[in-house]
Amino acid sequence: MSAEFLNSLSNDFAKLLFNVEDYNVIIKVGRSPNILNFKAHSCVLRTRSTYFHSALSNDWVKTDGNFIAFEKSNISPEVFQMILKYLYSGTICLENQNPTRVIDLIAAADELILTELVNFLKEYLLTHYDEWIRQHALQILYHTAFHSCKELQDICLEMICENPSSVFGTTAFSAIDESVLITILKRDDLQMDEIDLWDYLIQWAIARTPKLKFDVSKWSDGDFQVLQSTLKNCVESENLKNSKLSRIKKNHSRMAVFSADVRGPCFGNRDLWMSNYNNLSKGCSSRNSYYEKNLIDSQEFDLEDYEVFQIFHQQSVNEKTI
């Protein structure tokens, strides 16, 4: 016959944390002005966490007298205290903790390689704060970007792609980090038309480049090159892989785009030519001439559908509208 007394074992180990005796580690946690020193036992830390097992090894450890000195500036004292209680007692209390604190706990536990705790916290967050995650998906992506919380990141990405307006077109979009934006663009479930996606990307690039004016009609050749450089990594994503950014050559601006009664829209001198807009399956061709880059690889092709948009200068209310 055997018996388990895990509750009493957990309670007894917790006493080591709250009535510290024979400690040999002092951990400085947080950033000024919110800094707190925690006393702990290296044998407990190294046994419970593979992160501490390596960090407190003889090859890495730093001593201050008879104590091991350690710092964790990227974790708040409030979060680390909860982590430390988990390490000693195997328990964690999430009562009265908001979802932001749970996200902080996930990031800290992930960094400390506490897989069991990470899985529990993710499940707790998804069960109790599903709607909150939908509203703060971008914030969560930022918070977990440098951690391995892939499952949580995928859930946030799925929510963003399902409802792109929660990110695209918001005030937060212009400040979105390029790496996060590229991650979104690489998704094949992004529910957004390519023409709208291009519009948002151009707005994002302009916002990130102070040199560029929002009035494109006043741009120089150098401004367009700056835009192309800013968007370089973004346009290589799966959702824009077939897109081409090409400008009309100098002295040929009158041939940039035109249309007639039975043909068009056409670009350049047959750079992109539609000879019959009533029948998209016939007479479409492309031969590089007046544009800097070849617009399409095939010389003869069919179309299923097309969109054309024009950028124009919006006059002030005091000006006469044409």
- Taking only the tens place, the pLDDT of each residue in 42-90 is 999 999 999 999 988 877 677 777 889 899 999 999 999 999 999 999 9
Please choose, from the candidates 202, 190, 195, 198, the residue with its C-alpha nearest in 3D space to the C-alpha of residue 166.
Answer: 190
What proportion of the chain, given as a percentage, has pLDDT over 70?
A: 84
Q: Enter the pTM of the model.
A: 0.67
Q: What pLDDT was estimated at residue 315?
A: 52
CATH, domain range 1-93 = 3.30.710.10
Q: Which of the four pLDDT bands, split at 50, 70 and 90, describes residue 317? A: very low
Q: Are 166 and 134 in contact (CB under 8 A)?
A: yes
For residue 78, count other CB atoms closer than 10 A to its CB.
15
Tens digit of pLDDT for each residue in 261-283? 666 678 887 777 777 665 666 66
Residues 6+ apart with CB under 8 A from 78: 101
CA distance 280 to 301: 9
- Tens of pLDDT, residue by residue over 5-38, are 788 878 877 888 877 778 889 999 999 999 999 9
Q: What is the pLDDT of residues 221-235, one digit of tens each?
A: 788 888 888 888 887
Would the pLDDT of 171 be above 90?
Answer: no
